[in-house]
Amino acid sequence: MSKAPLFPPASHIIHRSTAKGPAPRLTRLALHLACAALLPTLPVGATFAQPAQAGQEAQRHSINIAPGRLSAVLGTYAAQAGVHLSADGALTQGLQSEGLKGRYDIAEGFARLLARHGLQAMPNGDGSYTLATLPRAAGEATLGAVTVTAKAERRNGTTEDTGSYTQTGPSNTATRLGMTLRETPQSVSVVTRQQMDDFGLNEINDVLQQTPGITVVAYDSERTTYYSRGFTIDSFQYDGISTTRDIRYSSGDTLTGTAIYDRVEVLKGASGLMTGRGDPGGTINLIRKRPTSQFSGHATASAGSWDNYRTEIDVGGPLNESGSIRGRAVAAYQDKKSYLDHYERKSKVFYGVLESDLTPDTLLTVGATYQDTIPKGSNWGGTPLFTSDGDFNDTPRSFNPGVRWSSNEQYSRSAFATLEHNFSNGWTAKANFTHQINGYNAPMSSASGGQPNPITGSGAILSLGKFDGEIKQNAVDAYAKGPFALLGREHEVVVGINASHRDWKTKDYFPAYDSAVEDFYNWNGDIAMPDWGTAYPTAETTREIAGYITARFNLRDDLKLTLGSRIADYRGETTTEKGIWVPYAGVVYDLNETFSAYASYTSIFKPQTRQDVQGKTLDPLEGDSYEAGLKAEFFDGRLNGSLAYFDIRQDNYALQTSSRAPSGSWAYEAIKGVKTTGYEFELSGELLPGWQAHAGYTHKSSRRTGKRVSTWEPEDQLSLYTSYKIPTHIAPLTVGGGARWQSKSWNTLSNPIRGGSERFTQKSYWLVDLMLRYQINQNLSASLGVNNVLDKKYFYNNGIYSYIWGEPRSANVSIRYDF
């Protein structure tokens, strides 16, 4: 074989056959690894240009390799360590690696990469290595020494420190089987830690705005809702454990800070198999950060438009000499004003987590989160939509109808524990418990009612109310998963049970008078707080218990069939259902090494809280969800793509009316025969070395007897966010930007002045963002971000008689120190 140095020694991995025959040749594995050596992120120099010599074994090298296919990771490691590795490609076929970060000598690095796969790198005496199967006895000793098997399993899927805009490891959001994005027969979008850091996505609202196919709609200054495929997303998961938000009262979930999360996975489409409610819109899964095996951390400070100041510190690492106990702590504080007059918000987030290797195969994780959001000047429902002439009430973007003391204060507390054990036969058992408290204390007042006179300013009504409530949720999920043999092939199965208990208690106060605003257009929100009077308490309890089973059958090397089923009992205040059956089926066919075709089906069952004009709670939403498409995985998983077509059919769809329920909230009508169809395209990951992108296009339409419903969610959306890390020898810069576009959307409302129904339309619009990061030295960097660069004026309206202006152009500068 020629040793012409086109890149560090050709291919640090070489095929060696033990059979007699022609001379050795490069396998596909060798070619993958040769290509990996070409990446400019790899150090190139005399040290790595030669095979390891005697004495090099004990030298430690700084290693930073992203997760991916084991073949590619080994090639990158061999290149960074400066050694040759000979291998039979069959040994690594189909295997994934969590990657490697830290300082290791050659043997230790190989051991950490290979032990969980039952492989080892055998030294040949000339500085080169050969990949071989690890004998069982030796394997047990090695695992005891490096204790990596359980840790490697649980960290797959981590996006932190990968520099990537895609997830190369497995996802458990759709099923518990830990399938990659390509293997999952549903649409899953992932916003990684790198994308959040690049674009300053410090709240969950920011993340969802950059998620393809998701529409973010603001009710007012604190309350937000999300739409996907024509329907609201009410289902949140935290590390895969389901909780439910109540869209009537915000309680911390949509204001969640992202400093504590490694990534956000969004499953689009029905998710009844894991969540217990076949929410047709989708599920948001927030994956928390975990302790690191090496000491590391960072501190950031930023300042932005409208006196927006924020600090964050994040520290993690081993807590004992062996590294069997690891911890991590994150704290963030933000104090900001706003483009809205007399509005400000203070937020604080704390997070702590501990991991302990009770044995080499048993992991205990415990942690807690704490978050407070304290605003002043909160508006309640936004700005009145119509003037007394029946025209659009066009106010400046800075106009705030909220009273100065008005405050929709929200808080969230949680504690969680996980116990996981890996058995020697490949099976894993895991139990999760979460206790979560979400609450609100909201004395609210806002000039959000009525129709102000455009000349005199009279006619606006001051809304007044106080809401004091808390939601306590306990959830447990326990399952076992592993391989089983059938008809000469190996398959996978997961069997589990989960249960949840949710108590919601609130006290609502309404003053015994209405208050008119004398001059709406000169309103400054400066009034005294009223005597709130009598409290009206409400309490609701919901319980659910379910068992589920999902199997992935390996019908052929290129054909996988996933079948699942969930049986649940649900009990709410007005709805009790037993034996709810949620079936699931999915098939994935590998067309070649890059592309797969897939199809899936699941049913929909979602209890509802909305009421009709008589105060009766609507019957549960029921229906079916179908999806089919193509998925692709390029460059050993560093770039993922998908094309999906979906068809959702449902009954008891909640359609808002122009009437009120007895409680005073808007009344809804349950309608049958709603059908939503559409298609999505998404691409995420590394286009070229140093060039990351996350892009998507979505088209969908929800109709009943040919007439559109859910018209406020646009039919068409496009988003593209990208960054490019310029090679260091040219300039230590990362440049990036993004844009999102949506087609026109509207609500059909009754004009209270002119009478009759009118379309209230938001025209299509673009929003453009930019970012720039300068790497001052190895540890210190400075960033600049500009949002809504073109200063586009746009608004939100969600079907009530008020609206919210979107945020104008803003800028933010930050500095970050990594240690």
pLDDT tens digits along 143-171 = 333 333 333 333 457 899 889 999 988 88
Where in the sequence of the chain do the CATH 3.55.50.30 domains occur? Answer: 61-132
Q: Look-up: residue for tokens 């079907």? A: 799
Average pLDDT, the chain: 84
Q: How far apart are CA 471 and CA 448, in angstroms?
A: 27
pLDDT at 230 over 60: yes
Instruction: Give the pLDDT confidence score for residue 645 in this predicted structure.
Output: 97
Q: Which of 721, 717, 722, 676 is nearest to 697 (CA)?
A: 717
Q: How far apart are CA 334 and CA 348, in angstroms?
A: 6
**What separation in angstroms does the CA of 524 have from each of 401, 447, 449, 458?**
8, 10, 16, 14
Instruction: Give the pLDDT confidence score for residue 671 in this predicted structure.
Output: 82
Instruction: Give the pLDDT confidence score for residue 446 in this predicted structure.
Output: 93
Span 65-74, mean pLDDT?
75
Q: Which residue has the higher pLDDT, 567 or 124?
A: 567
pLDDT at 51 over 50: no
Indicate the CATH number of 288-818 among 2.40.37.10, 2.60.40.1730, 2.60.40.10, 2.40.170.20: 2.40.170.20
Span 63-80, mean pLDDT?
76
Where in the sequence of the chain do the CATH 2.40.170.20 domains occur? Answer: 288-818
In degrees and rounded to multiples of 5, residue 71 shows phi and psi of -60, -45
Per residue in 447-504, pLDDT tens? 999 999 999 999 999 989 999 999 999 999 999 999 999 999 999 999 999 999 999 9
- Comparing 75-84, 506-515, 616-625, 658-667, which segment has the lowest mean pLDDT? 658-667
Span 612-633, mean pLDDT?
87
Q: Which of 458, 479, 474, 413 is nearest to 440 (CA)?
A: 413
Tokens matching residue 429: 């058992």
Tokens matching residue 39: 């990446």
**What separation in angstroms does the CA of 549 have from each of 477, 491, 741?**
13, 14, 40
Burial (0-12, 13-18, 19+ Cβ within 10 Å), 585: middle
Q: Do 560 and 146 contact (CB within 8 A), yes or no?
A: no
Cross-strand pairs, 792: none
pLDDT > 90 in the chain, percent: 54
Q: How far apart are CA 340 and CA 446, in angstroms?
A: 13
Confidence band, pLDDT 50/70/90 cuts, at residue 125:
confident
Confidence band, pLDDT 50/70/90 cuts, at residue 277:
low
Q: How far apart are CA 441 and CA 111, in angstroms?
A: 53
Size of the chain, expressed as the number of residues it contains: 819
pLDDT at 67 over 90: no
Per residue in 438-449, pLDDT tens? 999 999 999 999
Residues 6 or more apart whose Cβ sits within 8 Å of residue 197: none
Per residue in 371-384, pLDDT tens? 999 999 999 889 99
Distance from CA of residue 399 to its chain's centroid? 33
Instruction: Give the pLDDT confidence score for residue 650 in this predicted structure.
Output: 82
pLDDT at 85 over 90: no
Confidence band, pLDDT 50/70/90 cuts, at residue 513:
low
Instruction: Give the pLDDT confidence score for residue 552 in this predicted structure.
Output: 95
Per residue in 756-775, pLDDT tens? 888 888 999 999 999 999 99
Instruction: Give the pLDDT confidence score for residue 514 in this predicted structure.
Output: 66
Instruction: Give the pLDDT confidence score for residue 333 in this predicted structure.
Output: 98
Span 406-421, mean pLDDT?
95
pLDDT at 335 over 90: yes
Q: Which of 355, 344, 350, 402 is nearest to 371 (CA)?
A: 350
Q: What is the CATH number of domain 61-132?
A: 3.55.50.30
**What separation in angstroms does the CA of 760 have from each of 393, 521, 750?**
12, 22, 10
